[in-house]
Amino acid sequence: MTAEGLIAALPKVDLHRHLLGSAGAGTVAELARRHPGQGVPTEPEAVAAWFDFTDFRHFLAAYTAVNRLVTSGADVEALIAGLAADLARENVRYAEVTVTPLSQLKTGIDPAELAAALDAGRRAAAAMDVEVAWIFDVAADDGPRGGLDTLDWVLRHQPAGTVAFGLGGPEQGFPRKLFRDSFAKARAAGLRSVPHAGETSDPGEVWSAVRDLGAERIGHGIAGAGDRRLLDHLAHHAITLEICPTSNLRTRAVGSLADHPLPRLLDAGVGVTIGTDDPGMFGTSLGTELRLCHEEFGLSTQDIVELVRTGIRAAFCPESTRRKLLAEVARVSRAVPAPPGA
């Protein structure tokens, strides 16, 4: 079986994918036509050019502008429908999708309407054989108060499929430790901890995500590659990093794929799962990311299978889902030849 065929056949999970960032150029252009005057292009070709980010700050500005276009539950359901169709085409069976509730509420969506839209969208995804779970995150620039307000919305509405509490947005000026209180309360309420850290900062913020926020997985974490003691800690405590190579390239978090620390992380024994982050904005998919790992980083087909297995093991899914996916991976991977000398 070729690498291309294997990647297509494997049942996959995507654990690092933002709902808003999953909207492609066509969807964003349609939303811009519905809601003019927000500084977002109204033609798909212009949106695609607008998505040529110069740095992480530029990306955040565009992301915020797109967020202003999502003003109703119907808009949210449309985003989920598009996301689920994309996942189904890629044979992604389970996804943990990050939603930033306060960002959506700021555009005027009623709190209960947002929860109802997420429930409806999740049911629609299930009809496409895609199981969706939710990570509700805090935008760091909303500050500690935003963390508590986000958690309040989550606990009041608890949309079906809620599994985790996250933290995204800028790292500079917003150290992870600022959000200790909301993460402690979220963990006490049974939510799993999955903050972003070390995407555009340094190993200290990854340590803080672990020590201050009780991180069980970390979004990105690529800065951790510079700290051997941290890598040993992540490996020993089975804290998985959600690595999104195209995202890191497009936001200029890394200068080139040759500079990307993914091979070093794997060599250090750190658990890695591959995610898409904002695939609509970055023009990627999970299949594309796995092919990139094979073609650019030299990972073997057996390495690709192991990345997929790591993602399934790190998912906050029901055990029945995990067993089913791992059994199917085993069946598909039997068609992969063993490496020479094995």
Residue 125's beta-bridge partner residues?
none
Please report which residue ranges of the chain form alpha helices under DSSP H. 3-9, 25-34, 44-50, 56-67, 73-89, 101-105, 111-126, 143-157, 180-188, 203-211, 228-236, 245-250, 262-267, 279-282, 286-295, 301-314, 319-333
Contact 93, 11 (CB under 8 A): yes
Contact 167, 212 (CB under 8 A): no
Nearest C-alpha neighbor of 217 from the set 92, 93, 316: 316
Exposed / middle / buried, residue 274 (Cβ in 10 Å: 0-12, 13-18, 19+): buried
Give every CB contact of residue 113 below 8 A, 6+ residues apart in sequence. Answer: 72, 73
Q: For the sheet with 217-220, list strands across it.
A: 12-18, 92-99, 131-139, 162-168, 192-197, 217-220, 240-243, 272-274
Task: State the catalytic residue, choosing from 96, 131, 199, 289.
Answer: 199
Q: Which helix H or strand E contains 189, and what residues bound it?
A: none
Residue 199 annotated in active site:
yes
Pair of tokens at residue 32: 């811009």
Question: From CA 218, how far away is CA 137, in angstroms rounded?
Answer: 13
Catalytic residues: 199
